[in-house]
Amino acid sequence: MAYTINKTDGTVVTTITDGTVDNTTSLQLFGKSYSGFGEGLNENLVKLLENAASTAAPTAPLKGELWFDTTTNQLKVYDGTSFKPTGGSKSSASQPTSPSAGDLWHDTANDQVSVYTGSAWVLVGPVYTSGQTLSGWKIETLASAGGNKVVSSMYAGNTRVAILSKETFTPTATQTGFAEIKAGITLNSTLSAVFEGTNTQAANIDVSSTTNTSATVIAGGNFLRADTADTTTGALTVDADGGVIIGDAQELSITVSSNDVTVAQTSQDKDLKFTVNDGGVTKTPLSFEGASGNIALTGVTTITGNTTITGNLTITGEFENSSSEINIVNDAFLKLNTGNSEADSGIIVETTDTDDARLFYDVSENYWAAGENQSYSQIIRLADAVADGNAAKEKVLKTTAAGLLTVTNVSLAAVGSAITTSDTSSVSVPTIGQVATFGNQWGGSEKTVSTSNPTGGDGSDGDFWFVREA
């Protein structure tokens, strides 16, 4: 009588005739009274024990049948179409061959697990190899006075570089490099760790260092600060016409308009001063006075080039020209002593004498005087001269319009030559000696000059009587 062999679900696998063996499956199925029954049955049991361990898959497998693939050392199950790994991972130093989607591989060289997607092995974890040691993010719980805090720690080469936290707290257990953990990312203080790259905004900047990382990465200490006095060793350029504004009330401004530069003191009636250090003493050689709009110069001030002054120039002290050039004044008059009470005023030429050489107006005498070494005399004008030296003595003489001159007496330095009768064209004034000599030639001892004619009793024979005009 033939055997009908059914599967678990009742489906007929095969019918076996008496005395025969059936190979419809990967096991031998025996008919009634088969002579090799014992050996075949035992082989079937061995196959079941070793799950048909072989480099080749069993022939005519049934769905659900197990096969241990000795090539990959994997236990596989037949899904009705092909043998698939049962889900265990393969441990080896190299990638398994002929993997199926979903296979796991434990990489013994790097101590990592990967999964096969059907086309490639994808790392499941950890993200670091055994040689790299702990690297990447690790979820940790840290104790604090406010309770346990869950944080994400970033490791590199088994060293914690940063901690990511949702809140600020102080760990109660020592965490190297993390005395306090801030909300956000806190870097390990023992590593001098910094953020590198491009940042669009920062709440703070560390100014403790002035050592630049490169020509484009500048240390915080090299930036000019707005909250305190600071110094720059480079040029400061303001590339805007608005310029520079200085002072708590913005009193000083330097601006540009149409390439013209304006330096302005904007506080009402306040001065713009330029000071220098003269031997430790602060002096103000130049000041623009806001209340008056005047320029004040103090001390020795040097101005190079031409200077135009609109308005009055008031100088307190001396006006000096250190060069030997001639000072030129284009005005018709140079006025001195303006605003003072009457005082002698004029020009002094420096000499080695006590009071130098002077040309000045003597206000007490009301005339111009000149001289040097404290000896001065009047400078005579034509109006100061007189024609009558007898009426106005000690004056400079001049002739009348008719050429006449009146004096009390005239003394000549020498007597002169004797007067001869042939000197009819001479206009020289004779001296008394010449006249007396001339008179002696005529006799007489007296030569009378009078405004009246002589009478019969005047003089002696031979005397001369000259009648002059009254």
For residue 397, being part of any structural domain is answered with: no
pLDDT of residue 161: 97
pLDDT of residue 88: 67
Reply yes or no on whether the pLDDT at 146 is more than 70: yes
Do 43 and 99 fall into the same domain? yes
**Which amino acid would we find at residue 422?**
S
The whole-angstrom separation of Cα 329 and Cα 326 is 10
3-state secondary structure of 84: strand
Using omega within 30 degrees of 0 as the cis cutoff, is the peptide bond preceding 85 cis? no
Residues 171 and 165: beta-carbon distance below 8 Å: no
Do 11 and 105 fall into the same domain? yes
For residue 348, being part of any structural domain is answered with: yes
Reply yes or no on whether the pLDDT at 468 is more than 70: yes
Domain extent, residue 426, equals: 410-470
The whole-angstrom separation of Cα 38 and Cα 28 is 11
3-state secondary structure of 47: helix
Rounded to the nearest 5 degrees, what angle is found at the Cα of 416, between the Cα atoms of 412 and 421?
125
Q: What does the pLDDT look like over 176-233, one tens digit per residue?
A: 999 999 999 999 999 988 888 888 888 888 888 899 988 888 898 999 988 999 999 8
Residues in the chain: 470
Residues 181 and 171: beta-carbon distance below 8 Å: yes
Do 114 and 210 fall into the same domain? no
The whole-angstrom separation of Cα 28 and Cα 347 is 150
The whole-angstrom separation of Cα 58 and Cα 377 is 153
Tokens of 223: 């930036």
pLDDT of residue 453: 82
The model's pTM: 0.42
> Would you say the C-alpha torsion 338, 339, 340, 341 has a positive or negative sign?
positive
**What mean pLDDT, rounded, does the chain reach?**
87
For residue 391, being part of any structural domain is answered with: no
pLDDT of residue 138: 94
The pLDDT-based confidence of 444 (bands split at 50, 70, 90) is: low
**Which residue from 156, 214, 145, 233 is spatially nearest to 181, judged by alpha carbons?**
145
3-state secondary structure of 328: coil
For residue 181, being part of any structural domain is answered with: yes
Reply yes or no on whether the pLDDT at 445 is more than 70: no
Q: What does the pLDDT look like over 28-86, one tens digit per residue?
A: 899 888 888 889 899 889 988 898 899 999 999 999 999 998 987 888 899 998 888 77
Residue position matching structure tokens 């909300």? 183
For residue 403, being part of any structural domain is answered with: no
The whole-angstrom separation of Cα 387 and Cα 395 is 9
Do 263 and 283 fall into the same domain? no
Q: What does the pLDDT look like over 394-416, one tens digit per residue?
A: 888 889 888 888 988 888 888 88
For residue 405, being part of any structural domain is answered with: no
Do 244 and 192 fall into the same domain? no
Residues 111-126 as b/e (b if ≥16 CB within 10 A, e otherwise) read ebebbbeeeebeeeeb
pLDDT of residue 359: 92
3-state secondary structure of 46: helix
Do 116 and 151 fall into the same domain? no
The whole-angstrom separation of Cα 462 and Cα 441 is 10
> Would you say the C-alpha torsion 281, 286, 291, 294 has a positive or negative sign?
positive
pLDDT of residue 293: 86
Q: 213, 246, 267: which is the final residue of a domain?
A: 267
What is the domain count for the chain? 5
Do 290 and 366 fall into the same domain? yes
Do 335 and 254 fall into the same domain? no
For residue 400, being part of any structural domain is answered with: no
Do 285 and 255 fall into the same domain? no
For residue 464, being part of any structural domain is answered with: yes
**Which residue from 385, 433, 381 is spatially nearest to 406, judged by alpha carbons?**
385
Do 295 and 359 fall into the same domain? yes
Do 260 and 307 fall into the same domain? no
Do 10 and 29 fall into the same domain? yes
